[in-house]
Chain A
C-alpha cells in the first residue's frame, strides 16, 4: 500500500521560543501539545497515539496519558533519532493512521536547550548510541557535532569547490526570514560580512554557521484521512514520507562515503510516493543545524546537481523571493533549536494553509521538510494540499 494522502497534519502547536523560558521541559511539552490539539479542533480524549520527545526531561508516553487523562491510547513508540525525530516520527505516525492502528497521533518535542542542558556545552556525546564515537573519536578531541559536520563540509568543499561564503549565504537567508517571522529568537539583521568575520570555531565552520540553542517545544497532530473533514484549519496532506539510515551509523569517519546521509537515502522514496519531482517543490524546510547541511541537502534531495547548490544559494536561490525559499521561519540558525525539526513541520503546515504571514510563499504547492540526527539518520516528508 502507498501512504500517499492516507494522513494529514491537522493541528500544530508551539510555545514561545526564548533563551530562558522559566518553564520545565514537561510544561513546555504540555503547552505545545495543548495548542496542537486545540488547533486541530479535537477533544483531547480523541488522541489515541503519542510519540514523545527524544530530548529533554519532559514526558514519556505515560506522562502525557496521565496529564491528559487519556484512556484510549492504541499506539505509542519512542524514537531516538535526535534532530531527525520530528520527521521519522511523522513516518511512524503516518504508518499508524494509514493502517488503522490509530486515528490521531500527537508528535511532540521540546526542551530547555538554552537555559537547561545546553547543547553546545555537552562535553562529550553522552547517549548510548554514541558509545563507539566516545571510545574511538572523543579521545582525539572530536567531542561535539560541529566537528563531524565540519569534516563533511571540508570534504564537500574539496570535491565541489563549495565555499565559506556560500555557507554564509544560508545564514543570511535564514536571518532575513527570521525577521519576518515574529516569533524567532534572532532578529538582528545579518550581512554576509558579519558571517565572514565571525569567529572560526571548527574550520571550515564559523560561529554563524552554527544553529542557536533555545528553550521551547512544538507538536503536531497526524490524523487518518477519513477523519479529515470540515476542520477549522486546512489539512496539510502527507504526500510522501520516508526515512533513511546511512552505513556505519555510529561514525562518519568509517563511513565509506562521508557525504552519504539518511536524507539522501530517503529522498527518492519520498518523492516517488508523492509522485512529484524535486523541481516541483515550492518551498523547503531543511534541517539546518549547520549552514552546510542546507547546501548538501539541496543536492541529496535532487533539487540541485552535486556541486551546484553552493552557487544556487550564493545567488539568492533560497531567499523568500528565490526559486526555492528555504526555512521561511528562520530555521535552526535563527528561529529556534529545541524541537527536533517540529518547528520546520509547523512552518510547512502554515505555508500549506496560507497562514505564514509576511513569509508566505507566493505560489502554493508541495513543500519538503527534512530532519537529520547524529550521525545522519534522516527523514524526508512532502506536505501539500
Chain B
C-alpha cells in the first residue's frame, strides 16, 4: 500500500479499451491485447485493431521476458509523487512476443543498465492502486 504521508503518483485510469489489461495486472498477469482475426499484438490497447479494423480480441499471457530498447535515468522529479524515487530508471521494453511498453527498471544501480540488455517482469504492488508491470535486469544486477 502507498504510504499516506507521501504525495500520490499518477494512477492509471482504465478506459473501455484498456480495462482488461489493468484487470490482468491486478492478478499479476501481463496480458497484451491480440486481434483474433489477424493475430497482431496491440499495445497500448485500442477499441479496434489498427491493422484490420476487427474488434474481436483475446488477451494472451506474456512470458515476462524482454529487452531494453532505450532508457533514461531521471535525476529530478517533475511530479511530487516521484520525489522519493530519484534517481529512477525509465525504459522502453520490447517483450519477446514483440509488443513494447514504457516501464521502469527496478533493483539495479543505474550505471549497470544498458540498451539491449535482457530484462524480466517484476511486479510493483506499492506505487498505486493497480500493480504495475516493471522489470529487473535478467540475472540480477550483473
B38 at the interface (CB under 8 A from A): no
Q: Once the chains are docked, how many angstroms separate the CA of A251 from the CA of B128? A: 22
Interface residues of A in 132-158 (CB under 8 A from B): 132, 134-144, 146-147, 150-152, 154-155, 158
A60 at the interface (CB under 8 A from B): no
Q: Are A254 and B72 in contact (CB under 8 A)?
A: no
Q: Are A123 and B78 in contact (CB under 8 A)?
A: yes
A37 at the interface (CB under 8 A from B): no
Q: Are B101 and A147 in contact (CB under 8 A)?
A: no
Inside 8 A of B110's CB, which chain A residues have their CB? 203
Q: Are B73 and A202 in contact (CB under 8 A)?
A: yes
Q: Are B10 and A151 in contact (CB under 8 A)?
A: no
Q: Once the chains are docked, how many angstroms separate the CA of A154 from the CA of B13? A: 29
Which single member of A136, A139, A152, A199 contacts B75 (CB below 8 Å)? A199
Q: Are B15 and A141 in contact (CB under 8 A)?
A: no
Inside 8 A of A204's CB, which chain B residues have their CB? 72
Inside 8 A of B15's CB, which chain A residues have their CB? 135
Shortest CB-to-CB span from A243 to chain B, Å, is: 21
A115 at the interface (CB under 8 A from B): no
Q: Are B82 and A141 in contact (CB under 8 A)?
A: yes
Shortest CB-to-CB span from A40 to chain B, Å, is: 40
A258 at the interface (CB under 8 A from B): yes
A23 at the interface (CB under 8 A from B): no
Q: Once the chains are docked, how many angstroms separate the CA of A152 from the CA of B76? A: 18
Q: Are A253 and B92 in contact (CB under 8 A)?
A: yes
B100 at the interface (CB under 8 A from A): yes
A201 at the interface (CB under 8 A from B): yes
Interface residues of A in 203-235 (CB under 8 A from B): 203-205
Which single member of B81, B90, B99, B100 contacts A142 (CB below 8 Å)? B90
Q: What string of 1s and 0s marks CB contacts (under 8 Å) between B108-139 and chain A?
A: 00100001100000000001100010100000
Shortest CB-to-CB span from A58 to chain B, Å, is: 25
Q: List the 5 closest A-B pairs by CB distance, nearest first.
A: A203-B73, A150-B72, A253-B102, A138-B10, A155-B70
Q: Which residues of A contact B (CB under 8 A)?
A: 120-124, 132, 134-144, 146-147, 150-152, 154-155, 158, 199-205, 250-254, 258
11 cross-chain CB contacts under 8 A = A132-B44, A135-B12, A138-B10, A139-B9, A143-B79, A147-B90, A151-B71, A155-B115, A203-B74, A253-B102, A254-B100
